[in-house]
Amino acid sequence: MKRWYQLSPNELLRQFSTAKDQGLSEQEAGARVKQYGRNELRHGKKLNPFKLFLNQFNDVLVIVLMIAAAISFGLAFVEEEGSVKESLLIIVIVVAIALVGFFNEYKAEKTVEALSKLVGFKARVRRNGEVKEIDAAELVPGDIVLLEAGQKVPADIRLLEVSDLACNEASLTGESLPVNKNTDQIDLEAPLGDQKCMVFAGTFLTAGSALGLVVGTGQQTEIGKIADLVSGVENEDTPMQKKLDDLGKKLGYFIAVICVIVFIIVFFFVRQDGDVGLVHHLIFAFTAAVALAVAAIPEGLAFVVRISLALGARRMAGKNALVRKLSAVEALGSTDTICSDKTGTLTKGEMTVRALYVNSQEGTVSGSGYDMTGKLSFKSQAPGLQHLLEIGVLCNNSTIREGTVIGDPTEGSLIVSAGKAKIDAATLIARYPRLQEFPFSSERKRMSTVHKTPDGEYIVAAKGALEVVLDRCGDYYDKAGQKKTLTNEIRKDILEMNKRFAAQALRVLAFASKQTKLQPKNEPDAEKNLTFIGLQAMMDPPREEVIEVIHRVQSEAGMRVIMITGDYIETAKAVAKEIGITGDAISGTELAALSQEEFEKRVETIGVYARVDPEHKIRIVQALKKHGHQVAMTGDGVNDAPAIKAADIGIAMGITGTDVSKEAADLILLDDQFLTIINAIEEGRGIFDNVRKFVNFLISCNIAEVIAVVLGIIFFNDLILTAAQLLFINIVTDGLPAVALGSDPAQANILSSKPKRFQEAIVSSRVWAEIFIFGSIMSIFLIGQYWYNHTHESRIAAVSAAFTAMVVYEIVRLVDIRTDYKIRWFANPWLSVAIVSSLALQLAVLYAPGLAKYFDVGPLNAHDWSIMIAGSIALFVIMKLLNPILDKIIYKEHSLEAIPEALGNNKA
């Protein structure tokens, strides 16, 4: 079946049963709305707060907590009344965890809705023989549409009549320059950028006017097809989600095994004092197993993870990076490959004059985009510079309003280059009013205008392709500004300069003029015997901050940056060279010719992809992920959205980004600054470190509790800590410092660390060894103090001392972990506040009668505090002495080179 661009206008009109001069009838248009639907894209499901809240429970750690609550609740019907309170406490914690995640993600989604620019716009159509304005959503296939410059194209349209039409298709194809359109049908299949007789929904007309036939609406447009491609990409868990799920599963298996073992040991081998019945002994064994489960489950972990990620998301928002999914907060920190679109992301999507040629000498222009700030530099004086810039303003149909070009971006760049030389376009145009215009067309490849001068004469301003303009010139201005005959030798020099500019991927325009006493009668009269003035060479340059950012990302952060663009390969290579992206360059056509196996062999060596389509971008991202890379994709266009969704973390531009790209993204740069990515990388890495710190801390506490409880059962035939006491420790006295750890600032040199460090497991084998050693030593101290008090005082005194010692020693572990990182202690004042608060709450439990009764504890003696202080000092010193020994043993055996770096290389 032939494509729309392969059919002639008459064939199309017959196929859609439409008359060009009449259009559709209202009745037929209404019938086609029912047949094809409204001209709207299907959007993702509307935000459902209830479903979003339920999704917060889809987490391994949260599920483990709910199981713990169920077990604790079941005990209420067996023996202990307090178990109901314990289960309710766990449920409260679970709900709190869910609420933290819900409110952060709900707020982010509402912000995305606010960023959305799906504002309805109008379209001019011909119906019943009359031209009328309707909502673009009411367009149907077969409608005859009138188009003009400055308009957003409302549907996919086959052009029937064209008058100097140009269209900016950057959001769809990635090509930075406007495409000149015509009505010529194309016999062979062609990519979007080469379909000159088509304009596509969501693109912008920069010049001219046209009449066209709607051939695709809504989901049947090219944008709709890309939106379908986005929805077809499966969602994957972020690296953090995978690590936490893996950790949760390991903890779940560990808890199940340890509980079964303890139940068997207690039931078959432990004998309680006195003559107890079998049922009572069975209840005791089951209670011991449940106490072990409560001790082993890090009840505060899921809550602290959500709080930490929410705090990180809040800090990122303060740095203009909106996090849509909490789990993506740290993902950028562990990313080792950034794939980036070029137009609008690495570049501003704004044409800028970079070089000039006038009076036989080359000059440069600084600055970027449509900002008038910049400088024109020549080695020596160029007397014709003013005239060159003025001709660029006069032979121009565009304007700049509030930093935005109204019209063609290339013409806009000419106004900016003149502005940098303090030439005010409005004043100049008023001084030289335009009388005639001979417009640019793809056939003429030039444009000329006729203006009246203040002294009553006439000046012709011309611009266009160099060869075409030179053919109409007989003179030129030399270095002294004198008019001389344009010889073949001078022509050769000018053409050579044009080649030099083109080799730098610059688009070159030639300028010429002449002054006459009589107004030119026609086009040939106006454009003969011109005087060549010079050249202006422009491109869509890199954003000013991009060169520094890419250098820092690649040299400091150890991440690789890859450019993926729909633009021409020479342009892409030139931009890549300027900003420091290395590697081979390949076009979409070459990529399509490679098998998946061949491509995967080459993917590691390619740094630039040009003229690629959305399917190619997905293929690139997936090939990199198959090599084990964690991939980020940044972009702003509709054509970037599928790859943004397929990447480990998708990043969209908040200002210039299309709605489709934002909806596919995990992170949105609110200021469109590529520099914001550096801040996000630092924040993400800091968050990973914080997660690693408090996970280390919390699991250390839980393992220590398990060891202590098991030893208590073995040596004393009793539970030295109750489930209520363990819950209090895990949620309150451990939870507060853990949350405070989550707000730690990143280390000063964190960007210089390699990505591998942040791709390691949250708890490495090195850390597991440290956790078990700490738990064992701490348990020995704690059991010793319990034995002393139990022997010399009472059971309640022994339990009180063990309960408090557990809290104190776990704070020692916190200090031990924190001092491994290169962060000043008081850089995070909340940590000190949390530690003091935890100790204060523990004192309240000991000395407040009501709380003491509930937790079955009492006040401590002076010798209890003395033992704990001595034990704390000994525990801290022992752990610091053991650290280098563990480093040598673990790293030598397992070559875990990333772990010393993860611990900050700052062992105290």
β pairing state of 584-587 and 606-610: parallel
Active site annotation includes 341? yes
Q: Which amino acid is at 491?
A: R
Q: How confident is the model at residue 557 (pLDDT cuts 50, 70, 90)?
A: confident
- In which order are the strands placed within the sheet that holds 321-323? 321-323, 667-669, 649-653, 631-635, 337-341, 560-564, 606-610, 584-587
Contacts of 266 by beta carbon, 8 Å cutoff, 6+ apart: 284, 285, 288, 289, 713
β pairing state of 507-516 and 458-464: antiparallel
439: pLDDT strictly greater than 50? yes
Q: How confident is the model at residue 356 (pLDDT cuts 50, 70, 90)?
A: very high
Q: What is the pLDDT of residue 184?
A: 86
- Report the Cα 889 to chain-centroid distance in Å: 40
110: pLDDT strictly greater than 70? no
Cβ(822)–Cβ(689) below 8 Å: no
Across the strands, what pairs with 159?
212
C-alpha torsion sign, points 171, 173, 174, 179 = negative
3-state secondary structure of 424: coil
pLDDT over 70 percentage in the chain: 87
- pLDDT by residue (tens digit) across 310-352? 788 888 888 888 888 766 777 778 889 999 888 778 888 788 9
Q: What is the pLDDT of residue 119?
A: 38
The whole-angstrom separation of Cα 905 and Cα 750 is 12
The whole-angstrom separation of Cα 471 and Cα 467 is 6
Angle at 740 between CA 734 and CA 745, to 5 degrees: 145
Q: What is the pLDDT of residue 6?
A: 77
Contacts of 14 by beta carbon, 8 Å cutoff, 6+ apart: none
Selecting among 59, 341, 567, 659, the annotated active-site residue is 341
Which of 713, 691, 720 minimizes the C-alpha distance to 329?
A: 691
Q: What token pair was written down for 209?
A: 């006017």
571: pLDDT strictly greater than 70? yes
The whole-angstrom separation of Cα 887 and Cα 905 is 11
pLDDT, mean over the chain:
84
As a dihedral over the C-alpha atoms of residue 356, residue 357, residue 358, residue 359, rounded to 10 degrees, the angle is: 140
744: pLDDT strictly greater than 50? yes
- How many other C-beta atoms are found inside a 10 Å radius of the C-beta of residue 427? 10
The whole-angstrom separation of Cα 892 and Cα 684 is 30
In eight-state DSSP terms, residue 343 is: I
Helix (H) or strand (E) holding 132: strand 130-135
- pLDDT by residue (tens digit) across 707-724? 888 888 888 877 788 777
The whole-angstrom separation of Cα 39 and Cα 229 is 18
Across the strands, what pairs with 564?
341, 609
Q: What is the pLDDT of residue 893?
A: 40
DSSP assignment string, 255-317: HHHHHHHHHHHHHHH---SS---HHHHHHHHHHHHHHHHHHHS-TTHHHHHHHHHHHHHHHHH
DSSP assignment string, 745-806: PPPTTGGGS-GGGGTS-SS-HHHHHHHHHHHHHHHHHHHHHHHHHHHHS-HHHHHHHHHHHH
3-state secondary structure of 590: helix
118: pLDDT strictly greater than 80? no
901: pLDDT strictly greater than 50? no
731: pLDDT strictly greater than 80? no
Backbone angles phi, psi at 444, to 5 degrees: -75, -35
Cβ(544)–Cβ(527) below 8 Å: no
71 versus 377: the higher-pLDDT residue is 377
Q: How confident is the model at residue 844 (pLDDT cuts 50, 70, 90)?
A: very high
211: pLDDT strictly greater than 90? yes
Range scoring the smallest mean pLDDT among 189-198, 364-373, 457-466, 847-856: 189-198
HSE on the CB side for 639, CA within 13 Å? 30
Q: How confident is the model at residue 832 (pLDDT cuts 50, 70, 90)?
A: very high
The whole-angstrom separation of Cα 211 and Cα 216 is 15
Instruction: Choose the most confident range, by mean pLDDT, from 48-62, 290-304, 343-357, 509-523.
Output: 509-523
* SS3 assignment for 59-105: CHHHHHHHHHHHHHHHHCCCCCCHHHHHHHHHHHHHHHHHHHHHHHH
Across the strands, what pairs with 436?
450
- pLDDT by residue (tens digit) across 265-321? 777 766 655 555 676 667 667 767 766 666 666 766 766 777 777 788 888 888 888
Range scoring the smallest mean pLDDT among 168-182, 335-349, 542-556, 841-855: 168-182
Which of 25, 692, 635 minimizes the C-alpha distance to 341?
A: 635
